[in-house]
Chains A and B, each alone.
Chain A
Amino acid sequence: MPPNVVTGSLGATSFQRKPAALTKVDGDAKYFRPGRKRFVALSGRHGCLSLNMGLVRDAVSIAPAQHHLEEEAQKDQKLQDCVYVFQCEMAASVINTYSDPTLEWMNTPHSTGTSIMACEFDGGVVIGADSRTTTGAYIANRVTDKLTRITDHIYCCRSGSAADTQAIADIVTYHLNFHKMELGEPPLVQTAAAIFRELCYNYRDSLVAGILVAGWDKKKGGQIYSVPIGGMVQRQAVSIGGSGSSYVYGYVDANFKPNMTKDEAVKFVTNTLTLAMLRDGSSGGVVRLGVITEAGVERSVILGDQLPKFYEG
């Protein structure tokens, strides 16, 4: 049987679970005290295995070259009931990078695991977002501004890959600026959404971007267009997005009313985003808001201690 990976709780999780159990380091192999049913062992460069106690013998047979470790374990009583890890040749260098705990944060995609929202009211739209950007488990930016200006009256809420959405927003801004000059009048929200769609659809295989385009124009007033991953466009009166949105669909469905006043809409968006941030690990920080009307946009921030209070047990 060629040496190969058994099963995995790869890298970080397992490593985090039992850092204190590291008893001995021997070259590339590390010994861990077994847990209840299984433990995880970590090898410096060559990947990791998750073994049951019962599979130790199989593990030994997989990499007979590690016999010397076995001998050492026999000498040391304490180590006898440890299961030790063997270096296994892993198929892909992917495993190397992802399992190496020191490099994990460098290799996780920089994403805006997010909660974003947009809501129409009588006279315009309210947009809102959380402020957390993560690389894996590390919060790279806890005060991110995910509400990006396209024109004075059109904004977009970004979720998905931070890099992708920033690049797309820049391109759309450029296009729309040019279009505005050609047209001789302020561009329509529908046009902005169409340009977003062109990019998100035609490059769908390379992008991870979920965007809410929201704004005000003279023709149709306040509008929200949702452009999720894949690149469809859908006009909606209220729209939520990002990883945190899954937790608040019920709240939104139960509490949205058409033709709200501006204050009602702001309250509604704040509440929804707060609830999402409380439940989603990838969302948090402050709530950033924008109110877009004929007069332009009013930006505001609701800091952590000013967020509405909900039952937290």
Chain B
Amino acid sequence: MSSIGTGYDLSASQFSPDGRVFQVEYAAKAVENSGTVIGLRGKDGVVFAVEKLVTSKLYEPGANKRIFHVDEHIGMAVAGLISDARQIVETARSEASNYRSQYGMQVPLKYLNERVSMYMHAYTLYSAVRPYGCSVVMGSWSEYDGPQMYMLDPSGVSFSYFGCAVGKAKQAAKTEIEKLKLADMTVKELVKEAARIIYLVHDELKDKQFELELSWVSKGTKGRHQLVPREIATEAENQAKQALADIEDSDEGEM
């Protein structure tokens, strides 16, 4: 599926003869090489799970988080180049802060999504800059709007999702997500599913170590985005490991 641009891929301000902007597509490739991120939107909230690949045992556990808070009520999980992503988070925070100071209330996710999308898109227009090499997933819950989740990719396009996945194992993750009936599930159930899916799609051979990051925002958290509390997260992880072990056992059984 990958094609070489040969000459038409040198800057984001160039089209190729078949109407593609290669730089933007290459940016998407950068996202595909990063650890998987999945977002699940249920009945009463949104859950994020991130497969944070750890390349060295010497790293402090919990360092370089890939889930961020934007204002109190919005969470952002990122995939791709982490430093590019941090810039996006900063921009989103700045937008949210300005909105709050101007309009006296927290920024609606739909509005923030448009602002961040426009921002990311702006970097695909000029040859002087390169597009952001990251995809972000934003989620929020409010009394008035209910749960909402958007995913933005490097081209600046964004969609609202019930369930989404980006990164290395996005295809496998999407297949798993499609099996779930998301609209009927509460965040407590979704946390377990998210953990299970991440463990399932993680490639043991290529990437040895990983940390699972979980976060949620829901009616239960009163609209505040927070990392899933340790007990619940640990329980979900254990259940996920168990599920994985069951599958392996059953496979061996069939063989």
Contacts and interface: CB of A to CB of B under 8 A. Distances in A.
Interface string B96-133: 00000011110010110010000000000000000000
Contacts of B59: none
B104 A233 contact: yes
A182 B114 contact: yes
A195 interface: yes
Contacts of B103: 179, 190-191, 194-195
A65 interface: no
A197 B104 contact: yes
A219 B106 CA distance: 14
B104 A183 contact: no
For chain B, the bracket of interface size reads under 10
A183 B109 CA distance: 10
A27 interface: no
A184 interface: yes
Contacts of A183: 108, 110-111
B108 A195 contact: no
A195 B102 CA distance: 7
Give the residue among B102, B114, B144 with the most A Cβ atoms within 10 A. B102
Interface string B194-214: 000000000000000000000
A148 B108 CA distance: 28
Contacts of B104: 190-191, 193-194, 197, 233
Contacts of A194: 102-105
Contacts of A188: 105
A198 interface: yes
Q: Looking at chain B's contact residues, is the secondary structure mostly helix, strand, loop, or mixed?
A: helix
B122 to A, nearest CB: 16
Contacts of B111: 182-183
Interface in A184-234: 184, 188, 190-191, 193-195, 197-198, 219, 233
A7 B6 CA distance: 91
B105 A198 contact: no
A236 B122 CA distance: 43
Contacts of B110: 183-184
A198 B102 contact: yes
A182 B102 CA distance: 15
B145 to A, nearest CB: 10
Contacts of A198: 102
Contacts of A233: 104
A235 to B, nearest CB: 11
Nearest to B102: A198
A190 B111 CA distance: 17
A118 to B, nearest CB: 19
Give the residue among B103, B110, B111 with the most A Cβ atoms within 10 A. B103
Contacts of A219: 144
Nearest to A194: B104
A194 B102 CA distance: 7
Nearest to A182: B111
A81 to B, nearest CB: 67
A197 B222 CA distance: 28
Interface in A152-197: 179, 182-184, 188, 190-191, 193-195, 197
B106 to A, nearest CB: 11
- The 10 residue pairs across chains A and B that have the minimum distance between CB atoms: A194-B104, A194-B103, A191-B103, A219-B144, A183-B111, A190-B105, A198-B102, A190-B104, A182-B111, A194-B102
20 contacts: A179-B103, A182-B111, A183-B108, A183-B110, A183-B111, A184-B110, A188-B105, A190-B104, A190-B105, A191-B103, A191-B105, A193-B104, A194-B102, A194-B103, A194-B104, A194-B105, A195-B102, A198-B102, A219-B144, A233-B104
Given A191-B104, A191-B105, 8 more contacts: A183-B108, A184-B110, A190-B103, A190-B104, A190-B105, A194-B102, A194-B105, A197-B104
